[in-house]
Structure 1
């Protein structure tokens, strides 16, 4: 893990597009600026979906993504910047 502390964890395992992005947006909206949300997903599309969402959304920064292909789990770290 990098030099950030996880504020909250969102578990969207078992949910497919667009729910990981929808739930992530809802969770980020509830956080304070600077908070880091860890998102646990099983949808392989969540890697590109959350990446694209973060790129086109003001106030959020995608810090890191970790894909465990063998386990079918994807972890994303999103910081609320404003």
Structure 2
């Protein structure tokens, strides 16, 4: 994409869109799996723009997670407030 044809965010119309490493979430039952990917992100509103290759990669990872064909590491735990 040339500098003359800057991409505009479809949500907020900002041209401040940069390539960033983000973590996409894939749900597995009650668990959440974080998958690092690089994608375009609007710096104004946070809207993400995924290219076809990234979407196919995420779909492949999601399938591997379902079939338990990928190594996962526990990175924390989720807590819920109760009794309020």
TM-score, normalized by the shorter chain, greater than 0.5: no
Report which structure shows greater RCO (CA 8 Å, sep ≥6): 1
Q: Give me the TM-score of the superposition, normalised by structure 2.
A: 0.23
Q: Which has the higher helix share?
A: 1
Q: Give me the TM-score of the superposition, normalised by structure 1.
A: 0.24
